Structure 1
Amino acid sequence: MAVPTHAELADHLVRQIDIRLVDPLEILLDDPLDDLRGRAHHRAGALATALLDGDDPAALHTAIRLYSSLHPGDGPFDPPVAWWRTPLGQVVAARFGHPAAAGVSLPVAGAMLGISRQGVHDLVRRGKLDRHPDGGVTSDSIRDRLRTQPAPPATRS
């Protein structure tokens, strides 16, 4: 799975901020929040830049802030499988693997890589991904595989 472009990631962040943060506030306050929505949309570009181009500590801090704001809860970082297929999940997987787990299940590994569980199993069998001692796949081997995959060819407009 290719890492999303800056525009794809920024657009995804804009949608998530609208759906998960601004829209509920508008409903609760019964008042349009156009200024806040505009500020959030503007900030999405800077957040995308930090995630894609920032140094590892800054990018990880940005990812943690975004995830915890968009998906509040008291539990540990354990996103659903589908989250790894989102542009934000794809960037996190490519930059850090799973930041909170040394190993992940085959379904999570598949979502992180954008392939089926069987595809993950085949990569493990061929030595392209490392099996975690507790089962599943090591997060580092997923990250390393994503980092070495060639970028898709650019499309011309």
Structure 2
Amino acid sequence: MTRLIDVRLLDPLEILLDGDDAVEALRRTVRARAEAWADRMLDGDEQTATHAIVRVVATLYPGDGPFDPPAEWWRTPLGQVVVRRVGHPTVQAVSYSVAGAMLGITRQGVHDLVTRGKLERHPDGGVTPASVRDRLNRRSPTS
């Protein structure tokens, strides 16, 4: 997470400020606080984890539209924490390919899980992120 904050926020700020020493102080602050943010995301109660995730995602991926990362983002460590704790922070349905990225399987694998009733099909198409989250959280680390 600290690397992502460096790349998305602090590196551009350093460029804008011509290498000002204040940016290095911010890097130290981010490193000191990132562990607490990660602890909240991983081990906090549902409300605490959700709040921390939404704050970090909204800060790192600002925009006027809903949060819509590329499918491969869901395989990153932050993406995996987000899907395991909240599913998807801004939508009620994801495509089969995004659900596959969240689960680490193919689009066809998602289709098979939907057909077998292992994932919930959204009435408007796609899969509910909650069913993806629930499936990930039910699986053992070896499955």
TM-score between both structures, scaled by the size of structure 1: 0.83
CA distance, structure 2, for counterparts of residue 73 and residue 132 of structure 1: 25
5 Å-filtered alignment, 1:124-143, equals: 124-143=114-133
In structure 2, relative to structure 1, the CA distance for the partners of 1:135 and 1:126 (3 Å cut) is same
Query: Which structure would you say has the larger RCO, counting Cα contacts within 8 Å and 6 or more residues apart?
Result: 1
Structure 1: segments with no counterpart, 5+ residues = 1-12, 153-157
**Structure 1 counterpart of 2:107:** 117
Q: Does 1:89 align with 2:76?
A: no
Q: Which amino acid aligns with 1:150?
A: S
Identity %: 61
**Structure 2 counterpart of 1:146:** 136
- Offset of residue 108 of structure 1: 1.0
Structure 1 vs Structure 2 CA RMSD: 1.6
Once the two structures are superposed, residues 94-114 of structure 1 have per-residue CA deviations (whole angstroms, 9 ceiling, x without a partner) of 112123222211011111111
Query: Is 2:96–2:110's contact at 8 Å kept on the other side of the alignment?
Result: yes
Give the length in aligned residue pairs: 141
CA distance, structure 2, for counterparts of residue 52 and residue 75 of structure 1: 27
- Offset of residue 123 of structure 1: 1.1
Query: Is 2:54–2:89's contact at 8 Å kept on the other side of the alignment?
Result: no
CA distance, structure 1, for counterparts of residue 141 and residue 112 of structure 2: 22
Structure 2: segments with no counterpart, 5+ residues = none
TM-score between both structures, scaled by the size of structure 2: 0.91
Secondary structure at 1:104 match in 2: coil
Secondary structure at 1:39 match in 2: helix
Q: Which moved more, 1:15-24 or 1:125-134?
A: 125-134
Q: Does 1:14 align with 2:2?
A: yes
CA distance, structure 2, for counterparts of residue 99 and residue 21 of structure 1: 21
CA distance, structure 2, for counterparts of residue 60 and residue 15 of structure 1: 21
Secondary structure at 2:69 match in 1: coil
CA distance, structure 1, for counterparts of residue 17 and residue 11 of structure 2: 10
CA distance, structure 1, for counterparts of residue 62 and residue 130 of structure 2: 26
